[in-house]
């Protein structure tokens, strides 16, 4: 039969899904190798909760990909079931037909992807066509559904996904990107409408669209992937696994409630994190990296966190997703003991304790520094002087009272009357840095290292900055300011930023784990390593991640 060739010859022919171009950075095709990695994790979780049972040998399990693009998940699931059910259903035609009609379901995100997915799974864009390896479908779609639906506009925004009406209300000739899975008030009813009957899925798996490119341009566009996760949970499958951007772990526009819910959800039993998305998607740079998780409905507990380094070396730790005292995920397993040492030593100093030990650290130990020792307390707001990014001063100073403005693209002058906030800081020595890490500073280089901070330095009294920059401190004396800057450029300081932030958005909260020092003296990494009693391995880890930055970088 045609199906025989489709399964037996795949290993000899090039797999088109390994080289197909992505639709966009928001709708990324999943490489087959990575899809299989996720399926291996799923099979392990199934076996652990079903007394070692083989997921692929169960003819009753139903799978759903609610955001099908290339169809790779459904194709690989079908392939595994075809092998696993060989004893249960010996006849190949009957086996494949059972799998495709009873076990494997998908929802295309666009008309194009639905055709592509059907071609991948059924070997025909028509599920009921003469070339289809399924034998009993009566419709073109089969179990891979797609129909155009429209956004519900309320005050210029979609009531379900917050898409911009101005950008996406564009007529029938173009895709609406109104995804069926998230444009409904009752997802269980929607599944009945799409597939009929009482559709209870055992496994939901997918790689959802990441954001709506509706004019927001990149990081400021509206994230959407979390809505797919929330809807999938509402269907109450036994297992849920999805690959999504990692930036939800730290923050992100409109993601506070989602992050809080996820980090407190003890049904997330495995989280696999790739800080550099190119480790998985070689041609796509997703700011902050990507991750996939496995959610187990019936077996809550601690999470196995797997962290991949730049060279694909990994570390694993079974721990809570939300450590005591913090509201974000601590991304690196190796960072936890370092943070706990810093907090313990600072607290000991705060209470003038003569003796302290860092030999053992309780898992329940709070990671919160004493408030007066937290560096974020001296970091300015996003507009320290009330000047917007597009503010432009004049080339020449017209009055002795004018102030120097550090603005995007260089320096200029403006009247003090233009300064609406932060007036008390104008005549202090100030340490500044770019609010957002540049692409060059935020990305890892060929050695797997980041610079983290981009343009940074010290500016004298009589100077201000636009909101392109934030202030890391303001001092009465030049000595204190320059000593603070010696601290800012250390690998230690910049490493602690990466622990709290994805190194893309460097607002005040990014400095929460950085302790304040005594700036009557200059600082070096060596002094800091000794102060916080870091081991040789911990020092090597920091220096492997963060590349040098000299004081002269200002």
Mean pLDDT (whole number) for 517-530: 97
- Among residues of the chain, what percentage have pLDDT more than 90? 63
Contact call for residues 402 and 415 (beta carbons, < 8 A) = yes
- Confidence category of residue 76, pLDDT binned at 50, 70, 90: very high
Residues 283-307: pLDDT tens digits? 888 888 899 999 999 999 999 999 9
**Terminal Cα distance for the chain, rounded:** 69
- Confidence category of residue 171, pLDDT binned at 50, 70, 90: confident
Does pLDDT of 50 surpass 90? yes
Does pLDDT of 130 surpass 50? yes
Name 65's bridge partners: 106
Does pLDDT of 147 surpass 80? yes
Residues 3-33: pLDDT tens digits? 444 444 444 455 555 545 455 545 678 999 9
Hey, what are 64's tokens?
């759903």
Residue 515: strand, helix, or coil? strand
Pairwise CA distance, residues 350 & 370, whole Å: 8
Average pLDDT across the chain, whole number: 87
List, in sequence order, every beta strand (DSSP E) within 278-423. Answer: 290-296, 303-308, 314-319, 403-407, 410-414
pLDDT value at position 253?
73
pTM of the model: 0.83
Q: Between 398 and 5, where is the model more confident?
A: 398
With tokens 């077996």, the residue in question is 299
Hey, what are 52's tokens?
């070692």
Does pLDDT of 146 surpass 90? yes
pLDDT value at position 174?
84
Ordered domains of the chain (ranges, CATH): 2-147+179-319 (3.40.50.150), 348-553 (no CATH)
Which distant-in-sequence residues (6+ apart) come within 8 Å of 458 by Cβ?
429, 430, 431, 432, 478, 481, 482, 485, 554
pLDDT value at position 392?
92
Pairwise CA distance, residues 418 & 397, whole Å: 14
Nearest to 500 by CA among 510, 490, 492: 510
The conformation of residue 439, written as its DSSP 8-state character, comes to H
Which distant-in-sequence residues (6+ apart) come within 8 Å of 256 by Cβ?
none
pLDDT value at position 361?
43
Q: Between 37 and 249, where is the model more confident?
A: 37
Mean pLDDT (whole number) for 45-49: 96
Pairwise CA distance, residues 522 & 484, whole Å: 7
Q: What share of the chain is helix, strand, coil (3-state, %, to 5)?
A: 35, 15, 50
pLDDT value at position 213?
64
- Among residues of the chain, what percentage have pLDDT more than 70? 87
Which distant-in-sequence residues (6+ apart) come within 8 Å of 331 by Cβ?
246, 249, 250, 273, 275, 307, 499
pLDDT value at position 245?
92
Mean pLDDT (whole number) for 102-125: 94
Residues 399-424: pLDDT tens digits? 888 999 999 888 999 999 999 999 99
Pairwise CA distance, residues 484 & 497, whole Å: 16
Mean pLDDT (whole number) for 226-241: 97
Residues 427-465: pLDDT tens digits? 999 999 988 765 455 566 777 788 889 889 999 999 999
pLDDT value at position 371?
86
Residues 339-365: pLDDT tens digits? 999 999 998 888 764 444 444 444 445
Mean pLDDT (whole number) for 328-346: 91
Pairwise CA distance, residues 416 & 425, whole Å: 12
**Cα-flanking dihedrals φ and ψ of residue 244, to 5°?**
-140, 160
Does pLDDT of 312 surpass 70? no
């Amino acid at each position: 039969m045609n199906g025989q060739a489709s399964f037996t010859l795949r290993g000899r022919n090039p797999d088109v899904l390994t080289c197909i171009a992505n639709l966009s950075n928001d709708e990324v095709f999943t490489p087959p190798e990575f899809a299989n990695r996720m399926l291996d994790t799923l099979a392990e979780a199934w076996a652990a909760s079903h007394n070692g049972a083989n997921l692929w040998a169960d003819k009753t399990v139903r799978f759903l990909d609610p955001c099908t693009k290339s169809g790779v998940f459904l194709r690989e699931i079908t392939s595994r079931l075809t092998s696993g059910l060989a004893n249960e259903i010996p006849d190949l035609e009957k086996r494949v037909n059972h799998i495709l009609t009873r076990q494997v379901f998908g929802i295309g995100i666009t008309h194009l992807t639905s055709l592509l997915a059907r071609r991948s799974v059924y070997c025909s864009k028509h599920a009921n066509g003469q070339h289809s390896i399924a034998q009993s479908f009566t419709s073109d779609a089969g179990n891979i559904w797609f129909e155009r639906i429209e956004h519900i506009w309320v005050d210029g925004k979609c009531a379900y996904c917050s898409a911009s009406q101005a950008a996406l209300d564009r007529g029938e000739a173009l895709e609406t990107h109104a995804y069926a899975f998230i444009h409904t008030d009752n997802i269980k009813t929607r599944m009945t409408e799409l597939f009929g009957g009482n559709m209870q899925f055992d496994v939901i798996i997918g790689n959802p669209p990441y954001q709506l490119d509706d004019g927001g341009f990149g990081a400021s566009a509206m994230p959407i992937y979390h809505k797919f996760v929330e809807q999938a949970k509402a269907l109450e499958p036994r297992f849920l696994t999805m690959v999504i951007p990692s930036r939800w772990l730290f923050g992100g526009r409109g993601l506070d409630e989602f992050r809080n819910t996820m980090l407190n959800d003890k049904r997330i039993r495995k989280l696999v994190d790739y800080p550099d998305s190119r480790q998985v998607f070689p041609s796509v740079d997703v700011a902050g990296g990507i991750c996939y998780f496995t959610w187990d409905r019936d077996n809550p507990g601690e999470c196995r966190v797997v962290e991949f380094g730049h060279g694909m070396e990994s570390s694993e730790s079974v721990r809570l997703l939300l450590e005591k005292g913090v509201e974000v995920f601590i991304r690196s397993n190796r960072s936890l003991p370092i943070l706990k040492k810093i907090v313990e030593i600072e607290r000991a100093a705060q209470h003038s304790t003569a003796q302290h030990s860092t030999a053992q650290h309780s898992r329940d130990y709070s990671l919160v520094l004493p408030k007066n020792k937290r560096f974020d307390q001296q970091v300015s707001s996003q507009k320290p002087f009330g000047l917007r990014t597009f503010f432009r001063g004049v080339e020449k100073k017209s009055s002795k009272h004018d102030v120097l403005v550090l603005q995007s693209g260089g320096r200029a002058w403006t009247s003090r009357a233009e300064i609406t906030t932060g007036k008390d800081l104008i005549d202090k020595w100030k340490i500044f840095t770019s609010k957002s890490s540049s692409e060059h500073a935020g990305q890892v280089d060929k050695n797997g290292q980041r610079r983290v901070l981009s343009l940074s330095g010290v500016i004298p009294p009589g100077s201000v900055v636009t909101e392109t920059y934030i202030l890391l401190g303001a001092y009465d004396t030049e000595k204190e300011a320059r000593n603070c800057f010696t601290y800012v450029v250390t690998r230690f300081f910049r490493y602690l930023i990466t622990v709290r932030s994805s190194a893309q958005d460097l607002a005040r909260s990014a400095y929460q784990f950085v302790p304040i020092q005594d700036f009557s003296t200059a600082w070096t990494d060596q002094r800091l390593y000794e102060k916080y009693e870091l081991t040789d391995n911990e020092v090597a880890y920091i220096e492997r991640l963060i590349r040098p930055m000299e004081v002269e970088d200002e």
